[in-house]
Amino acid sequence: MQTTFPQLLLQHASSRPTAAAMREKEYGIWQSLSWADMATMVQHLAAGLHQAGLCRGEHMVVVGANRPRLYATMLAVQALGAIPIPLYQDAAALECIFPINNADVRFAFAEDQEQVDKLLEIREQCPQLAHLFFDDPRGMRNYDEPGLASVDELLASGKAFSVMHPDFLSTEAAKAKPDDVAAMFFTSGTTGNPKGVVHTHNSLLNRAKAGADFDKLTGADEVLAYLPPAWIGQNIFSYAQWLVSGYVVNCPESAATVTIDLKEIGPTYYFAPPRVFEGLLTSVMIRMEDAGTLKRGMFHYFMDVAKRVGPALMDGKDVGLMDRMLYSLGNGLVYGPLRNNLGFSRVRVAYTAGEAIGPDLFTFYRSIGINLKQLYGSTETAVFVCLQPDHEARADTVGVPCVGVEIKVADNGEILVKSPGLLKEYFKNPEATAEVLSADGWYHTSDAGFIDAHGHLKIIDRVKDVGRIKGGANDGAMFAPKYVENKLKFFSHIKEVVAYGDGREKVCVMINIDFDAVGNWAERRNLPYAGYTDLAQKSEVYQLIKECVEKVNADLSADTMLAGSQVSRFLVLHKELDADDGELTRTNKVRRGFIAEKYDVLIDALYGGKTSQFIETVVKFEDGRTGRVSATLRLDDARTFTPVKASDQLRTGLARAA
Amino acid sequence: MATKKIGDVILAVHNISLSFGGVKALTDISFDVREHEIRSIIGPNGAGKSSMLNCINGVYTPQQGSITFRGKEFKHMDSHQVATMGIGRTFQNLALFKGMSVLDNIMSGRNLKIKSNLLMQALRIGPAQREEFQHREAVERIIDFLEIQAYRKTPVGQLPYGLQKRVDLGRALAMEPQVLLLDEPMAGMNVEEKQDMCRFVLDVNDEFGTTVVLIEHDMGVVMDISDRVVVLDYGKKIGDGTPDEVRNNEEVISAYLGTSH
């Protein structure tokens, strides 16, 4: 798509000036802004910024929540040939210093007092930051810092300038070329400084168009803009695709009203990370358990029907007449009202991405008639690399490569991508660019995965974590710890898992039970227990966990690549893995290496074939005191399955079909 | 930052004495409140702070003394008249309509401003409806100001205490008062809720120019946000002045910390 962001705006403004472009809920009412209004606002902002001295090629920071004025500012900056850098509104002041100095930023748009205070706080470290424009004047009347002005003043000065230069926007916008830099997004590196990912008009718009074509998005679609604008996904869904498709972007009243606004708007195109879907499901389940017997009975009965019939219907498969009738009855009584309650009544396409989604969670939404799918991509690829087609959504893949994308799997299992949406470079960082972007144009994702028999991409782990089994029956088989851990964690009874197997002859895991879920399970079975440690070592609990492990093994055995990652032995830990004890990172990821050192006796016992092992560990309490926990842990074997060969799989599949 | 402009005396109490039978709640109290300032009344429990507010807004009639509001002297205040003159208040023990939504509670604060009669409102006759829209808009601005958009339709009784206090403030603001009497707006709140409430009080004072008379127990809060402070103890005034003056007043220190005799 050979065009630019401001060009697209001008096209919409001339072809459908009165159609709604954005809505913002303010003072309890959804206020619409037409494409013509939008173009006028952008013209005034661009003229204002031009007069304030924003030059072609320089960078401007925008920081704030989703508001029409924030997006209009980005358009105005791009129209002037400058480059917007959206920053996360919840980033700490210190985190903003690097991007601002890295790109030598002189201009900033800040949503409100909170963001202004943050930028003023770092002004000493960023002396070149001369111009600060704030949108919301609340609390700002007594500020008299130099260079601080309201967006209203900026608009007024732009308006005055526009009287003399009515075609300012179109003349300036015409100067931009599709291959010019359009935006820069900073990605938080786990180590070192963040890196600025540079994208051109073409890389962003090309991908936006590919995604829009894939799901047939039109001007009639509705989107709720509620994720941070600094995240490239939000930028694609509420900005690039907004301009490409011309749909309406709705800005919620405040962060606290998102669920209410979602119901009022009823978006047709929706994105959320798995944890949002999980949160919604939990709230539904809790409210259902509090409902009357009749309602609860009806809900559970029809949810069973949905589980059986829904996904098949969604995938366009044949379903018997009786099931079809039951499902449509359920749709009237349960699924429809439920979708409405969640704000998903009109959802035509919903996506999730970012982390692995549990199959039960995924199936739940699809079974009640929500077209939830997965996609694969990152900041560096302008999101769209792989997408799941409407009738082929599955919990464990991320879809087929979309238009224009080439994928190949390197020898070490790393996924390499070639796409028109690839980053131009990392800003002022040629070493980092060279690391991920090879001379022949392949982008190294650092994700390990493979293309399955149906042509879907399957992500298994980070490349650096993938190992090999050494010795034993599965010598040389691929071992993907996170893949195994995630599969186990999808069971509600399992909270945390650490898997070992790299360079060993078999896979062993240490498991944390979910105290609430297993405690509840035990109570319903009249199984008495004294506390976490006691509950974790109950033989009934071991049986429960063993079933989970074996289910995962059965699943893995059907997987040609990962059949060797089946879990041979497991144990249930006597204490919860905790960030305070250094066992988890602050973002709750297991620190495999640290745990292996700390619990080396348990690892030795697992691989040494023992059936029990005494362990004593020091624990740190929240107030800094330490204590000791000791227990004799059971170690158990799990059944493994002979790998199902692809041909066998096909045969059983055919037999089932017959 | 620019300093705000404090005007002339808008409200003054002169030699107020109030007793309930043999109990002297207030003895010979005089102080004044200037326009646009935040004036705090502090004192230990039972010092007579709430009684003082109740005299100002006409709940109690003092046996002696008078009150001047905008140059007019009153022997006793009538609560309805007080409200129409532009003095609003919030309550220490919330007096909200628990079963009604946040919106309706704040709307009830517009009561005095509504011109159309009950019948017109009930029948939704043109002018009445137009008027309702205007009031709704004013209420929406308050909801936006207090950042309670997410609870617009929630019955007040279901909200946590800190938010109920905010709704109470919203209802007082709905009548667009010139003087706002706040009776312990931060009592029973956690630190974060207190910070929020402080910001709202300061913003009300700053953005609308509303004069604030504040009763508060939290010394940190009082010293931080007040322009001037009156200190009461056993119904008597023992201190009056800027936060710094009051902080160094011997009598005030002994009232709060006790003295060795």
At residue B124, the pLDDT reads 77
Say which residue, A622 or A306, is predicted with more confidence.
Answer: A306
Distance, CA of A631 to CA of A225 (rounded, Å): 50
Task: Say what percent of chain A tops pLDDT 70.
Answer: 97
Distance, CA of A250 to CA of A238 (rounded, Å): 9
- Residue A28: closest C-alpha in chain B: B140
Say which residue, B44 or A366, is predicted with more confidence.
Answer: A366
Please report which residue ranges of A112-269 form alpha helices under DSSP H: 113-121, 151-164, 168-174, 201-214, 232-235, 241-245, 258-265
At residue A283, the pLDDT reads 82
Write out the two tokens for A179: 């291959």
At residue B2, the pLDDT reads 45
- Residue A258: closest C-alpha in chain B: B150
- Residue A146: closest C-alpha in chain B: B1
Torsion of CA A239, A243, A247, A248, to 10 degrees: 50
Instruction: Using CB atoms within 10 Å of the CB of residue B120, give its burial: 0 to 12 exposed, 13 to 18 middle, 19+ buried.
Output: middle
At residue A191, the pLDDT reads 63
Query: Distance from A152 to chain B by nearest Cα, in Å?
Result: 18
Give the A:B interface size as CB pairs under 8 Å. Answer: 38
Cβ–Cβ contacts within 10 Å for residue A44, how many?
24
pLDDT tier at A400 (50, 70, 90 boundaries)?
Answer: very high
At residue B1, the pLDDT reads 40
Delimit the domains of chain B by residue range. 1-86+177-261, 99-176
Beta bridge partners of B11: B33, B69
Please tell me the CATH superfamily of domain B1-86+177-261, with its number: P-loop containing nucleotide triphosphate hydrolases (3.40.50.300)
CB contact under 8 A, A257 and B149: yes
Fold of the domain spanning A466-637: GMP Synthetase; Chain A, domain 3 (3.30.300)
- Residue B154: closest C-alpha in chain A: A260
Strongest mean pLDDT among A173-182, A474-483, A635-644? A173-182
Q: Which residues of A touch B5 (CB under 8 A)?
A: none
Mean pLDDT calculated for residue range A560-589: 86
Indicate the range of A75-79, A462-466, A651-655 predicted with least confidence: A651-655
Mutation for A interface: B139, B149, B166, B204, most A CBs within 10 A:
B149
Q: Which residues of B touch A143 (CB under 8 A)?
A: 1
- Per residue in A232-272, pLDDT (tens digit) is 999 999 999 999 999 999 999 999 999 999 999 999 999 99
- Per residue in A8-23, pLDDT (tens digit) is 999 999 999 999 999 9
Distance, CA of A129 to CA of A588 (rounded, Å): 36
At residue A587, the pLDDT reads 66
At residue A346, the pLDDT reads 96
On average, the pLDDT of chain A sits at 91
Query: Beta strands B87-90 and B72-74: pairing type?
Result: unpaired
Mean pLDDT calculated for residue range A18-46: 96
At residue B214, the pLDDT reads 94
Query: Distance from A267 to chain B by nearest Cα, in Å?
Result: 19
Q: Which residues of B touch A114 (CB under 8 A)?
A: none
**Residue A136 confidence (pLDDT) above 60:** yes
Q: What angle do CA A142, A148, A149 make, to 5 degrees?
A: 90
Among residues A136, A154, A131, A140, which one has the least CA distance to residue A41? Answer: A154
pLDDT along chain B (261 residues), means of 10: 74 93 91 95 88 91 92 87 91 88 94 79 80 92 94 94 93 94 90 90 91 90 92 91 90 76 56
Delimit the domains of chain A by residue range. 5-270, 466-637
At residue A541, the pLDDT reads 95
At residue A179, the pLDDT reads 95
Q: Could you say which DSSP state residue B20 is in?
A: E
CB contact under 8 A, B149 and A143: no
CATH number of A5-270: 3.40.50.12780
- Residue B202: closest C-alpha in chain A: A139
Query: Distance from A271 to chain B by nearest Cα, in Å?
Result: 22
CB contact under 8 A, A138 and B203: yes
Mean pLDDT calculated for residue range A507-536: 91
At residue A42, the pLDDT reads 98
Q: Between B1, B140, B203, which is nearest A28 by CB? A: B140
Q: What are phi and psi of B215, to 5 degrees?
A: -105, 130
Distance, CA of A401 to CA of A449 (rounded, Å): 13
CB contact under 8 A, A256 and B2: no
CB contact under 8 A, B137 and A27: yes
Beta bridge partners of A31: A24
Whether the Cβ atoms of residue A574 and residue A533 lie closer than 8 Å to each other: yes
Mutation for B interface: A24, A25, A26, A27, most B CBs within 10 A:
A27
Q: What are phi and psi of A374, to 5 degrees?
A: -120, 155
Q: Which residues of A touch B141 (CB under 8 A)?
A: 27
Say which residue, B225 or A524, is predicted with more confidence.
Answer: B225
**Residue A387 confidence (pLDDT) above 90:** yes
At residue A124, the pLDDT reads 94
Q: Could you say which DSSP state residue B10 is in?
A: E
- Residue B147: closest C-alpha in chain A: A254
CB contact under 8 A, A144 and B2: yes
